Amino acid sequence: MHCRSRYSRQCRASAKTKAARRLIAAAATSLATVLATVLTAALVAGCGASTPRTATPVVAPLPVRVSAAQLARLPMATTFGTSAAAPQDPDPFAPETGTVLHPTATQVVYARPGGPPVAALPVTELGSPTWVPVVQSQLDWGRILLPTRPDRSTGWIYLKTKNLVTAYSAYRIEVSLPGYRLTVLDAGRRLGSWTVAVGAPGTPTPAGRTFLLASIAPLHPTYSPLILPLGTHSDTLSTFGGGPGTVGLHGWPDPAVFGHAISHGCVRVPAAALRVLSRVPLGSSVVITG
């Protein structure tokens, strides 16, 4: 229909109809765009997209405050002591980390990070500076082996505390009870391997991981010029030679004992082995396998 300059009623009605149709089409197009955008966002979210969130920082638990009076009442973590509340070693044959700790002042030992105190770690052990191995780390805490009874006792020390020295020992002493053999390693390199004597059937050498606790050079040696106590005890003797039944490494004048299960629990070693052992730092790993 052709409309002249003056619109007729029919022309005006047709124009209104066309305008309405254009508005409806535009609205439909806009609505489709909005729906498509919403659907796309939903699909993307469904495929694993998520709103970024700020990660919550993991904070190490702080140690329980212990007064001087409370510290004095804690059992001392020495070879003469007993730490009844200390947790047991959860993996007594696992490799140790090589990290060793030395307290320059008495340190509190806890049952777990942020948990209750169970013992006090002294500065010296049997006249030697105390060095203990770390077998597990958790944030600012280290789990250490204790030289107390019961055997395989452990505890946690807060590593950010004062008066605590940290070092690393690459040495490892291995003792095979059925093979009557002691081997010394330094960063995996064998320094020597010797046939030794171990505990008799009635007084066996205890198996598990432990550490070199102290170094004692007797003024008037009888059977050995050097005795190296370990952080473990006899399972059958509560006392021996006036001590608490501590197991150690030491020499022996009669080489006929080597290759036999004959001792009260200690490992008797040849003179050449004792010379190498004398150079191993305190706190170093000792693993005894049965």
Residues 142 and 187 in one domain: no
Confirm whether 247 is domain-assigned.
Answer: yes
Confirm whether 100 is domain-assigned.
Answer: yes
Predicted local distance difference test score (pLDDT) of residue 60: 86
Confirm whether 89 is domain-assigned.
Answer: yes
Please say if the pLDDT value at position 4 is more than 60: no
**CA–CA gap between residue 192 and residue 251 (Å, rounded):** 15
**Nearest alpha-carbon partner for 224 in 200, 261, 204, 197:** 197
At 44-71, the pLDDT tens digits run 334 344 555 666 678 889 999 999 999 9
Residues 176 and 283 in one domain: yes
Confirm whether 36 is domain-assigned.
Answer: no
Residue 237 neighbours by CB distance under 10 Å: 18
The beta-carbon contacts of 180-189 under 8 Å, at least 24 apart in sequence, are 180/258, 180/259, 180/260, 180/261, 182/249, 182/267, 182/269, 182/273, 184/273, 184/276, 184/277, 184/280
Q: Residues for the chain: how many in total?
A: 290
- Where among 139, 168, 197 does a domain terminate? 168
Confirm whether 26 is domain-assigned.
Answer: no
Confirm whether 184 is domain-assigned.
Answer: yes
Q: Which CATH number does the domain housing residue 272 bear?
A: 2.40.440.10
Map tokens 């020992």 to a residue: 169
Report whether 190 contacts 183 (CB < 8 A): yes
Average pLDDT, the chain: 87
Residues 131 and 104 in one domain: yes
Predicted local distance difference test score (pLDDT) of residue 57: 75
Residues 156 and 205 in one domain: no
Residues 246 and 279 in one domain: yes
Residues 241 and 270 in one domain: yes
Residues 72 and 110 in one domain: yes
Q: Which range of residues forms the domain containing residue 195?
A: 171-289
- Where among 124, 151, 168 does a domain terminate? 168
Predicted local distance difference test score (pLDDT) of residue 241: 86
Residues 146 and 72 in one domain: yes
- Where among 122, 153, 168 does a domain terminate? 168
Confirm whether 17 is domain-assigned.
Answer: no
Residues 157 and 215 in one domain: no
Predicted local distance difference test score (pLDDT) of residue 52: 58
At 198-233, the pLDDT tens digits run 999 999 999 999 999 999 999 999 999 999 999 999
Please say if the pLDDT value at position 265 is more than 60: yes
Residues 152 and 72 in one domain: yes
Residue 80 neighbours by CB distance under 10 Å: 13
Residues 137 and 244 in one domain: no
Confirm whether 22 is domain-assigned.
Answer: no
Count of domains for the chain: 2
Predicted local distance difference test score (pLDDT) of residue 182: 99
Strands laid side by side in the 181-186 sheet: 189-195, 181-186, 171-176, 285-289, 208-211
Residues 188 and 227 in one domain: yes
Predicted local distance difference test score (pLDDT) of residue 53: 66
